[in-house]
Structure 1
Amino acid sequence: MPPPQAAASERDLATAFAAQRPQLRGIAYRMLGSYWDADDAVQEAWLRLQRAKTDEIDNLEAWLTVVISRVSVDLLRSRASRHEDIEADLPDNEPLPSTLGPETSALRADEVGTAMLVVLDTLGPLERLALVLHDVFGLSFDDIAPIVERSPAAARQLASRARRRIRHVDVPAERDRKREAVRAFLKASREGDFGSLLQLLDPEVELHADADVVATAAPAVDHGAPLLQAHVRGADAVARVFAGRAEQTQIALVDGLPGAAYAPDGMPWAVYAIHLPDDRISRIEVIGNPAQLTDLAIVLE
């Protein structure tokens, strides 16, 4: 059993980390495009903090930003199928643009994250990181430079290159497209239209549900709750989870993009993050953990 002073120190560390968790999760999610992967990255950051010599950390927020950034980059690189594309970075001596045009001016922070998720797979890890840290979280390029291990000028160029790739994304139109897909999915679920569900789902669609929401849904299955499991893969299996169910689920914006929420009393008890990279749903993440729900920006529609 640890001495009282050590136990108090551990509690203080956990409290300090919890205060930083929403920002860490936000960085990881915008980098990785998956709440599950983002949670893994945040957990790894916590493990690294526990192993670190915390008395040598002068600025915990800055230290954790570096850690979550590098963990996210490592996860991206490990999942990449073509390293030559994802490793591509800018040399320090690439010339800066002579004028600031639409591709280099800062975009609205709330739309940068949304636009990034639309074209996520076209951005290299360091491009994503520089753009997220600068345009979404407001870090200077002087602060970003050591995180991406480049000069400030090169860090600026990484963000600029990413910004050029997302500037053509019509965020309102993208929200409308996804909203209609979510509406069609919920309609087919409620009506038990199995054929329409199969048309809406990618053949390799994956469903992830956390332990809290699985436990909450299980007793309510006889009343129309989805047949949730921790992990379900394939259009046929996922369609069976929802067919004839989800009567009380409604459309909601989840971190700026259309998804769904179970909110019978106007307070979300569970959210469905629905990923739609093209014309079919590729992934559904169901989140019911109260601490994680508080980290999300949820707007019921």
Structure 2
Amino acid sequence: MTGQEIDADVLGERRHLLSLAFRMLGTVAEAEDAVQETYIRWYRMSQERRDAVEVPRAWLTRVAGRVCLDVLGSARVRRERYVGPWLPEPVPALAFADPARDEPADRATLDDSVSSALLVVLESMTPAERVAFVLHDVFAVPFAEIAEIVGRTPAACRQLAGSARKRVHGAREAAVPRAAHDATVRAFAAAARAGDLAGLVAVLDPDVVLRSDGGGVVSAARHPVVGADRVARFLLGALGRNPAAEVLDQETPDGLGFALWVEGRVTGVVTMDVRGGVVTDVRVVLNPEKLTLWNRPTTPVE
């Protein structure tokens, strides 16, 4: 294979790298920066060294993993300074799917792995746990290669991924089937659109938590809103204060949610967790920097 052919293959891996980096970092902007840094490291090598790389995808995956590990090390400090609650960026369903490589039967699994609910769980992990889990369980990278990335033994990496997997499985086991989730969300929507406070409280868990992420860019709740009555009143008040906003049902990797539209643009995305027939968590992302994929001419990541 010639150098030009190898370079073409490398550039063709951008979707794969973005998919990997997003799951590790939780925002498209950080993922794009990580991918750019990965390519910079590739092209810093001499042509002779690039030609010697037998499997460019494997090399790029390892380097992207190292870059993301470094970013995760400083991300927690940055997020502590974030204005209001920090939420992972919601993305459209199948935003990172690759029709050329992903089998249709695997699409639901891939979609679930970019759900806001899962990304919130990943945020609770150490950087090494998150990298080990994403690389091994989502992208099937062998533990021997992960060990080179995180600077630990393969056995230690297996333990990291196992610990992370338990947390993820715990969250998934608590989730209801998609049909039940969507039915509860539709009941939530009907009550909200009717301004029915009692009906809305009825579909909310008594300890429901609403988090609103405006990033200091747009108006949003600076602290989580807790409790069914408080969350219901907050939501109905927000709808009343924004009569120009159109709230439309929206399929997301988390199941049915909502997109807030104003003058032809998505200004917010709402996703929810449902347990036992009631909504337990409401995530409202209003920060325009986290809605980039929703307002592009085409939503799939190129």
TM-score, length of structure 2 as denominator length:
0.56
Q: Which ranges of structure 2 fall in alignment gaps of 5 or more residues?
A: 79-107, 201-207, 223-237, 274-279
Q: Which runs of 5+ in 1 are unaligned?
A: 1-7, 83-107, 209-230, 264-268, 297-301
* Map of 2:73 onto structure 1: 77
Q: 2:214 aligns with which of 191, 199, 206?
A: 206
Q: 1:37 aligns with which of 30, 35, 40?
A: 30
How does 1:1-301 map onto structure 2 within 5 Å?
13=7, 15-57=8-50, 58=53, 59-81=55-77, 110=110, 111=112, 114=115, 116-169=118-171, 170=173, 172-173=175-176, 202=211, 205-206=213-214, 231-235=217-221, 243-245=242-244, 247=246, 249-254=248-253, 257-260=255-258, 274=270, 279-284=281-286, 285-286=290-291, 287=293, 288-290=295-297, 293-295=299-301
User: What SS is found at the alignment partner of 1:168?
Assistant: helix
* Number of the residue aligned with 1:266: none
What's the offset of the Cα at 1:155?
1.4
Q: Aligned partners of 2:219 and 2:215: how far apart in 1?
A: 6
Q: Which amino acid aligns with 2:152?
A: R
- Contact 2:136/2:142, CA 8 A, preserved across alignment: yes
Residues 29, 37 of structure 1: 8 Å contact kept: yes
Percent of residue pairs bearing the same amino acid type: 32
Query: Is the CA contact (8 Å cut-off) linking 2:249 and 2:256 kept in structure 1?
Result: no
Q: Secondary structure at the match of 2:62?
A: helix
Is contact 2:62-2:145 (8 Å) kept? no
Which structure's relative contact order is higher, taking Cα pairs within 8 Å and 6+ residues apart?
A: 2
TM-score normalised by L of structure 1: 0.57
Q: Report the Cα distance in structure 1 between the residues aligned to 2:125 and 2:138, rounded to whole angstroms.
A: 16
Whether the 8 Å CA contact 1:206–1:232 is kept in 2: the answer is yes
> When the two structures are aligned, how many residues end up with a matched partner?
226
Tell me by how many angstroms 1:78 deviates. 0.5
* TM-aligned CA distance change 1:174 to 1:127, over 3 Å: farther
Going from structure 1 to structure 2, the CA distance change for 1:147 and 1:250 (only over 3 Å counts) comes to same
Quickly say closer, same or farther: Cα 1:282–1:248, change in 2 above 3 A.
closer
Change (3 A) 1:129 1:290: farther
Contact kept in structure 1, 2:37 and 2:67, CA below 8 Å: yes
| SS of alignment partner, residue 218 of structure 2 | strand
For 2:39 and 2:189, locate their aligned partners in 1 and report how far apart those are by CA, in whole Å: 37
